[in-house]
Amino acid sequence: MIEVNNIYKSFEGNDVLKDVSGVFESGKTNLIIGQSGSGKTVLLKTIVGLHEVDKGEIIYDGRSFTGMHTKARKDIRKEMGMLFQGSALFDSKTVEENVRFPLDIFSEMSLVDRIDRANFCLKRVHLENVNHLYPAEISGGMQKRVAIARAIALNPKYLFCDEPNSGLDPRTSIVIDELIYEITKEYNITTIVNTHDMNSVMGIGEKVVFIAEGEKCWEGTKDEILKSDNSRLNDFIFASKFLKQLRAGV
């Protein structure tokens, strides 16, 4: 479980996060939604420690991440896996080397075991026979799957996904969403997904936090979202004509 308590973050006097709090539970896919520029990515990067909070606290299963020394943070980081918006695979490494990378760095496993583990992770994301290809040689959807495989290589307790469906077609987006959901359940991971894709919200949003202009405006489940009377949330959710008609029952 990850707790975020009253965090603030600003860049050069520009307040990006203002008093954001929330609890992200284990074994659930927790979604952070909001418009582009609402502060979702900054919130996610602050939770994983890529940005330092100006004020507030982030707690990983009772361990205060914000007050932690760099060395102690490293131990928590080994329990994290992250899927970036653009996959962030290492261009100079093959698919297998990318998945094996965290194992090469942190595990004491033999090379054979590391290769086996990488193959297992690749199979888990339904990728085979791509081990020796480079990221530039595979499709965007496959790159996302490789990034998921890399993120789960060390059996993480926490999985962070920054707009996992950006740039993907609807069918591939569903495949990625399902993978994230299945892996969360299978390994009882605390998963936080940043998205503005309503298909993801309705598909895997067990808990949804809505951010607007750096503030938390609403939280609930995917079932509650359609019935909410929060005007800012409704403006975001029903921005498309199709959803407006759906809500009106046309």
Partner 1 sequence: MAFLYQTGRYFLFLGKVFGRPVKHRIFFKQIIDEIDDLGIGSLGIVIIISFFIGAVITLQTAYNIELPIIPKYTVGVAARDTILLEFSSTIVSLILAGKVGSHIASEIGTMRVTEQIDALDVMGINSAGYLVLPKVVAMIFINPFLVMISMGVGIGGGWLAGASTGVVPSPEFIYGIQYGFIPFYVTYSLIKSVVFGFLIASISGFWGYYTSGGALEVGRSSTRAVVVSSVQILLFNLILTQLLLA
Nearer to partner 1, 51 or 232 (CB): 51
Burial of 231 (0-12, 13-18, 19+ CB in 10 A): exposed
Stretch that binds partner 1, among 70-78, 166-174, 195-203, 204-212 (CB under 8 A): 70-78
Amino acid letter at 202? M
Distance CA 108, CA 111 (A): 9
The answer to whether 48 and 160 are in contact (CB under 8 A) is yes
Residue 248 CB, shortest distance to partner 1, in Å, is 40
Residue of 61, 86, 169, 223 that binds partner 1 (CB under 8 A): 86
Question: Which one among 104, 182, 206, 213 touches partner 1, defined by CB under 8 A?
Answer: 104
34's torsion region: left (phi>0), alpha (psi -120 to 50) or beta? Answer: left
Q: C-beta of 6: minimal distance to partner 1 in Å?
A: 23
- Backbone phi and psi for residue 162, each to the nearest 5 degrees, phi listed first: -100, 110
Name residue, tokens 């079932």.
Answer: 223
Q: What are the C-alpha distances in Å from 107 to residues 4, 155, 199?
A: 30, 11, 37
Give the C-alpha separation, 104 to 8, whole Å: 36
Which residue from 77, 124, 185, 232 is in contact with partner 1, where contact means CB under 8 A?
A: 77
What mask of x and - would describe binding to partner 1 in positions 128 to 167, judged by CB under 8 A? Answer: --------------------------------x-------
Applying CB under 8 A, does 84 fall inside the site for partner 1? yes
In the complex, the smallest distance separating the C-beta of residue 96 from partner 1, rounded to whole angstroms, is 16
User: Cβ distance 44 to 9 under 8 Å?
Assistant: no
Among candidate residues 129, 161, 132, the one with its CA nearest the CA of residue 147: 161
Residue 73 engages partner 1 in binding (rule: CB under 8 A): yes
Q: Is residue 37 within the footprint of partner 1 (CB under 8 A)?
A: no
Residue type, 198: M
Q: Which amino acid is residue 65, in one-letter code?
A: F
- Determine the interface stretch with partner 1 among 47-55, 165-173, 194-202, 213-221 (rule: CB under 8 A): 47-55
**74 binds partner 1 per the rule CB under 8 A:** yes
102 binds partner 1 (CB under 8 A): yes
Give how many residues touch partner 1 by CB under 8 A: 23
